[in-house]
Structure 1
Amino acid sequence: MPLPEYGGVLGQKRAAHLLRRATFGATVSQINAFAALTPAQAVTQLFRQTLPDPLPPPDPQSGNQTWCIPGPANEDREDGDLQEYVKGWIIGQMMSTGIAANLSLAYSAREKVVHFLHTHFTAIQSKIANSRAMYFQNQLFRRFALDALNPDPKINIKALSVKISVDNAMLRLLDGNLNVKGSPNENYARELLELYTIGRGLEGTLPPPTGPGDYIMFTETDVQAAAKVLSGWELDDEFETPDIDTTIPRGKVRGSITNASGHDNAPKQFSARFNNTVIQGSATLMNGSNATEASALDEIRQLIDMIYAKPETAKNICWKIYRFFAYAPHTPADSLAIDTNIITEMANTLVANNYKIQPVIENLLRSQHFYEAGAGNVKDDNFGGIIKSPIDLVLGSLRIFDLKLPDLMTATTDFYMATAEIIGTIDNLGMRFYEPYDVAGYEAYHQYPIYHRSWITPNYLARRYDFVRSLVMSSQQQGMFTVNVYNFIRANFTDAVASNARTLIITLSGYFLPVTDNLTFDDATDDTSSLTAKRLNYFKERFLQQFDEAYWTTRWNEGAIDLRDQLEFLFNAMLQSPEYQLS
């Protein structure tokens, strides 16, 4: 059954929590609007809107025409530049660039799911090395992101697992194009099992392997058999082979559609872990004894059906969703408690909804557990329980200050300059966008037991603080993104709030920091359940400098000329705090 849901009004703290996790950030006014909603109303606004599909990225050197279309490539155009344009275009989608204000958060929520799929099905730019392959894979993820809005039962993560297996970018990444009859390449088969579907079980709680080649959930025999199922595909460098369901270009079979000569057509025997299943080509789809494109695709569907028939596959996918949107436990005891009480129910929801992931995400984001409102023995650490990824830190900071990108079509060069600056910052903070260190993807999403803690090292933390300083301190500002914090306060808060130093600090904490219950400046009454009195007094000290609170009130009411300087000290202290690094 679905997770029990929280039925009350969100309020500011829970609204900010939801929007930090489900989108790439929200403005003060958007948080205020969501504070008046229930989780059910909020999730409907985020995930049940009719959204436009983005126009493909324009090339400013070609009169803003797009190159992301099927057909022969322009051999005179340097693809390395175009790859950077695709990445910049993806950042623009995350920022809801050019989207009407009333759809901005919903658009961002969809892109957050697209990004989740990108972290699940890995991509490495230097290995893919093709801008159109990167673009069409991103489009494929978008087609499957809000799968509950599509009545087609073939739009779900199970079907996506079939389609990603013959996706041009994935064929490039894991050498699927080198996997042929008589010379199998097992790279993709191994990662399909270990990373993208059934996984290797709940880390830290597994029994020892029974012997060499035993990976608990599957065996080396299964990898070898799966590689043969997946054999016989090659890149379509001209992207002229459309998928029958999505029309998005994919790879093509070696040989021809009536004689898939690179496919191993012999029966494939799997281990007892998969009930000794045998996969072979369908006689009704083959051309005599020859494999066809249809029979080779059908074998992949049989493979995915076999893997998804194991309940561990749904649980592995739900764990990925949970760690991305909610929390990543770091001990076996916490993992087992969540696995029993949360993940099992999420997996039931996934299966009951024909493997559509949107209902699972929506139920999680409406749940008592997500808002730490549930009873029981499950340890709740959701508020501030995730270290922001560099992309969430940077985009979330830009969005809460309502900083926008240049228009993609009317200021295309400026748009790509701005997104290149964002990508450079994200890279500098430790997330090499579209260039994770290995085929398992960004470590923070998969590496037990530290998970998202891998974002923080002494060097990366210092660079996070440098990013904040360059954003809010006028003496340090450089690049295309700068904040006038005085104007921000004037635009979003009343004089009654802004003129009182303590009220201002507490109010800002509610929007910028995740844990803000029972705030006080008094050490004697501090329950230390969230931000401590010591922390708030540090913010106040950095804010007021040598002035007292009454003098700040007077200076605000008089409109003193250097108010921005003092506010910069406050924002710099608050946004450089450890708490701001948390979501």
Structure 2
Amino acid sequence: MFGLALAGAAAAGVAAPGAGPAAWSGDLRPITADQWNAERAAHLLERAGFGPTPEEIARFAAMTPQQAVATLVRPQGIDNSHLPPFDASDIHEPGLEPFPASRPATTEAAKARGEALGVAAKPEGNRRLQPVVNKFFYWLRASRLETHRVAYWWANRMLLTQRPLEEKMALFWHGHFATHEDKVRDARKMLQQLQLFQAKGLGNFRELMIGVAQDPAMLAFLDAGVNVKGAPNENFAREIMEMFTMGVGNYSERDIREAARAFTGWNYDDLRFVVNRAQHDDSDKLVFGRRGPFDGVQVIDLILEQPVTAEYLAGRIYRYLARDEITPELRKRLGAVLRDNRYEIAPLLEAIFLSRDFYSPEVVGTRIKSPVELVVSTYRKLGLKDVPGVPDFNDVTGALGQHLLYPPTVAGWAYGRSWITPGLLMERGNFARDVLFPDFTALPHDRFPTNATGLEIQAVHERISRGLDITAATVPEGKDMAGGEAMAMSNRMSDRDEEFNTRYGSYRGWQKAVEVVKPIPRTMARVDLSGLVVASGSRTTADAVDALSRRFLSAPISAAQRTAWVEFLTRELGTDRIERAATYMEDGLRMLLHLMLASPDYQLG
């Protein structure tokens, strides 16, 4: 049922008045000034950013299409100094680098050397390695909590930026060059990579690709440390060709093997890129029929010389900004734009945004918003000045399928219809309700972990508070004794003699992490729908429905849907006159907006 409703909303978009003649599909000729209007300005801002306000639409509609597109694509002169830098917590400590691959690797190193992670093993006594294990889990927990803060910081930039396309393209590159905090395990590296996308995402792709290939987060994610002379690891070279530049089937296995040798020795030292010369293979390689002692940068240049590379990249960008379907002919023409401009990204974006194709019925109001776009655009259209802490941004977007800095695979997110299932559509409606009617009793998990591990942490804390020793307090759930029996057993038996206790280390790691990681502000959305409706000049409930529809919906609604919403609001307010309900209409308007935001129409942009 939900799928049919969504398809119906998309079909309504095709029939939208003013959306553009069907003959525009595939037409890369620029739209002209006389074809430019507020509806097309709204469409441009929706796709090039995170949901326009009526004021922004009016400002861009007053420009020519060339001026509007240039403002977005070449924003370097626009002041964005109101956006604060990331306020990092003081979490990193000497000795944590290089961080071990696992807890067993950590304790084995501590046994062999007498210390690990900058922490010495106890000379004697019970749980000699416990301080080392505590430090291991501390960093895992602290890095994860800090990464959640990075996601909040980024979401606030999306919400408040005067350069929306910078953040929109940073989101694209984050999915294109997908790395995951659970593998990288360093919030600092994830932030540094994000800042690379923000700085170079609208610039030259060659510079961006080299920056990513030398980025510590990517090097950690693709196991660059094991790619050494005499034993090349193909992961790095394969992903660069398969996912980042060329696509499957456009290279040979020999190209992969030879390119892998060119990247040997590439590694990182904490937050810096390094080349270990002794581990680099500087002998000849044969890549794409060319022979030479290539290094990694030279291999990237060889990749960029292949005609398919520009076409692959242009196609990926087009599908992200315009629509899922692209013909081979259109992809080839857009690839030529990118290649002819020496991989400068801005001219490609201008070609897409100015094209008649971009304003055709097949594009306008037919793209399913990603979870991050949905959440941030909702906040923008509500006029919020910060991302609220309730509901939790990471929880919401994660439940909807797009947890920032945690893409599901190296391929990133699938986009399109993968965002919509009956269950996910219901979750989108729940998000809308949680914004408009927040649950003030919700406990933030970054202060109090509530996942499966967090429940174990809670149990450990409660048991220790009851006086149990570490052994009894860390008995796994389901194997625990009743409280009184456990206490009696604890009193009869001495604490277990062991090198370390993993569950206790996890418990102490959480405690220390929460102690040092700065909290996410737990504000609620300050929503004033009454003010928005009055400011729109609405006099009747029908006017209010129209005003909210214009502000929040990209796809047009049917006459039947409009009538149903007008009747709903009139019934809730007890009158169809806004003036009569002015002192009490906020809740009725919020219930109406919840219906709108939960509808299939709102999922399209």
Superposed displacement of residue 491, structure 1: 5.8
Q: How many residues align?
A: 459
In the alignment, which residue of structure 2 is the partner of 1:277? 290
In the alignment, which residue of structure 2 is the partner of 1:179? 227
Structure 1 distance, partners of 2:194, 2:376, is 19
Supply the RMSD in Å over aligned alpha carbons: 3.0
In the alignment, which residue of structure 2 is the partner of 1:118? 174
Contact 1:232 1:262 in 2 (8 A): yes
Counterpart amino acid of residue 88 in structure 1: R
**Long gaps (5+) in structure 2:** 1-25, 100-116, 119-134, 443-521
Which piece of structure 1 moves more, 433-442 or 479-488?
Answer: 479-488
Superposed displacement of residue 400, structure 1: 0.8
Superposed displacement of residue 357, structure 1: 0.8
1:252 paired with 2:269, answer no
Distance 1:25 1:311, change over 3 A: same
Superposed displacement of residue 580, structure 1: 0.2
1:262 paired with 2:279, answer yes
Contact 2:50 2:158 in 1 (8 A): no
Aligned runs of 1:43-192 on 2, under 5 Å?
43-49=69-75, 50=77, 51-52=79-80, 56-59=85-88, 78=139, 80-96=141-157, 104-106=161-163, 108-147=164-203, 156-192=204-240
Deviation string for 1:498-523 (max 9, x for gaps)? 2223233233222222223xxxxxxx
Distance 1:503 1:493, change over 3 A: same
Using the aligned pairs only, state the percent identity.
30
Structure 2 distance, partners of 1:12, 1:474, is 33
Which piece of structure 1 moves more, 38-47 or 16-25?
Answer: 38-47
Structure 2 distance, partners of 1:21, 1:218, is 33
Counterpart amino acid of residue 44 in structure 2: L
Superposed displacement of residue 328, structure 1: 0.4
Structure 2 distance, partners of 1:269, 1:370, is 41
In the alignment, which residue of structure 2 is the partner of 1:423? 394
Which structure's residues are more often helix, by fraction? 2
Counterpart amino acid of residue 191 in structure 2: Y
Contact 2:245 2:309 in 1 (8 A): yes
Name the SS of the counterpart of 2:405 in structure 1: coil
Name the SS of the counterpart of 2:278 in structure 1: coil
Superposed displacement of residue 175, structure 1: 1.0
Q: 2:594 aligns with which of 562, 572, 575?
A: 572
Structure 2 distance, partners of 1:169, 1:400, is 34
With normalisation by structure 1, the TM-score equals 0.72
Superposed displacement of residue 11, structure 1: 2.9
Structure 2 distance, partners of 1:98, 1:383, is 22
1:35 paired with 2:64, answer no
Counterpart amino acid of residue 487 in structure 1: S
Structure 1 distance, partners of 2:232, 2:159, is 46
Distance 1:503 1:15, change over 3 A: same
Superposed displacement of residue 321, structure 1: 0.6
In the alignment, which residue of structure 1 is the partner of 2:409? 438
Contact 1:13 1:510 in 2 (8 A): no
Name the SS of the counterpart of 1:261 in structure 2: helix
Structure 2 distance, partners of 1:434, 1:511, is 30
Identify which of structures 1 and 2 has the higher relative contact order when contacts are C-alpha pairs closer than 8 Å and 6+ apart.
Answer: 2
Distance 1:229 1:492, change over 3 A: farther
In the alignment, which residue of structure 2 is the partner of 1:222? 255
In the alignment, which residue of structure 1 is the partner of 2:314? 318
In the alignment, which residue of structure 2 is the partner of 1:359? 347
Counterpart amino acid of residue 464 in structure 1: R
Distance 1:535 1:185, change over 3 A: same
Distance 1:18 1:317, change over 3 A: same
Q: 2:334 aligns with which of 326, 342, 346?
A: 346
Contact 1:542 1:573 in 2 (8 A): no
Name the SS of the counterpart of 2:359 in structure 1: coil
Structure 1 distance, partners of 2:576, 2:547, is 16
Distance 1:492 1:60, change over 3 A: farther
Superposed displacement of residue 113, structure 1: 1.4
Aligned runs of 1:437-476 on 2, under 5 Å?
437-444=408-415, 452-473=416-437
Superposed displacement of residue 162, structure 1: 2.2
1:493 paired with 2:554, answer no
Contact 2:238 2:256 in 1 (8 A): yes
In the alignment, which residue of structure 1 is the partner of 2:268? 235
Structure 1 distance, partners of 2:260, 2:593, is 54
Contact 1:543 1:567 in 2 (8 A): yes
Name the SS of the counterpart of 2:389 in structure 1: helix
Contact 1:94 1:112 in 2 (8 A): no
Structure 1 distance, partners of 2:167, 2:207, is 20
Contact 1:471 1:483 in 2 (8 A): no
Structure 1 distance, partners of 2:292, 2:427, is 51
Contact 1:279 1:302 in 2 (8 A): no
Structure 1 distance, partners of 2:152, 2:358, is 27
Counterpart amino acid of residue 175 in structure 1: D
Structure 1 distance, partners of 2:200, 2:303, is 19
Structure 2 distance, partners of 1:544, 1:358, is 48
Contact 1:401 1:488 in 2 (8 A): no
Deviation string for 1:150-183 (max 9, x for gaps)? xxxxxx1123222322211111111122111111
Name the SS of the counterpart of 2:357 in structure 1: coil
Deviation string for 1:86-143 (max 9, x for gaps)? 55345434433896xxxx332x221111111111111111111112211221222222
In the alignment, which residue of structure 2 is the partner of 1:294? none
Name the SS of the counterpart of 1:105 in structure 2: coil
In the alignment, which residue of structure 1 is the partner of 2:374? 393
Name the SS of the counterpart of 1:443 in structure 2: coil
Counterpart amino acid of residue 197 in structure 2: F
Structure 1 distance, partners of 2:441, 2:29, is 46
Superposed displacement of residue 547, structure 1: 7.0
**Long gaps (5+) in structure 1:** 148-155, 201-214, 240-248, 255-259, 282-298, 330-334, 373-379, 407-416, 445-451, 517-530
Contact 1:468 1:572 in 2 (8 A): yes
Distance 1:262 1:343, change over 3 A: same
Structure 2 distance, partners of 1:568, 1:324, is 32
In the alignment, which residue of structure 2 is the partner of 1:541? 567
Structure 2 distance, partners of 1:371, 1:98, is 25
Superposed displacement of residue 56, structure 1: 4.1
Superposed displacement of residue 464, structure 1: 0.5
Which piece of structure 1 moves more, 566-575 or 78-87?
Answer: 78-87
Superposed displacement of residue 191, structure 1: 1.0
With normalisation by structure 2, the TM-score equals 0.70
Which piece of structure 1 moves more, 223-232 or 7-16?
Answer: 7-16
In the alignment, which residue of structure 2 is the partner of 1:206? none
Superposed displacement of residue 280, structure 1: 1.2
Deviation string for 1:361-405 (max 9, x for gaps)? 122112211112xxxxxxx42122211111001011011111122
Distance 1:544 1:419, change over 3 A: closer
Counterpart amino acid of residue 37 in structure 2: G
Structure 1 distance, partners of 2:192, 2:439, is 42
Structure 2 distance, partners of 1:582, 1:5, is 24
In the alignment, which residue of structure 1 is the partner of 2:359? 371
1:484 paired with 2:532, answer no
Superposed displacement of residue 84, structure 1: 3.7
Which piece of structure 1 moves more, 80-89 or 312-321?
Answer: 80-89
Structure 2 distance, partners of 1:578, 1:499, is 27
Q: 2:576 aligns with which of 552, 564, 570?
A: 552
Structure 2 distance, partners of 1:540, 1:419, is 29
Larger Rg: 2
Structure 1 distance, partners of 2:260, 2:237, is 5
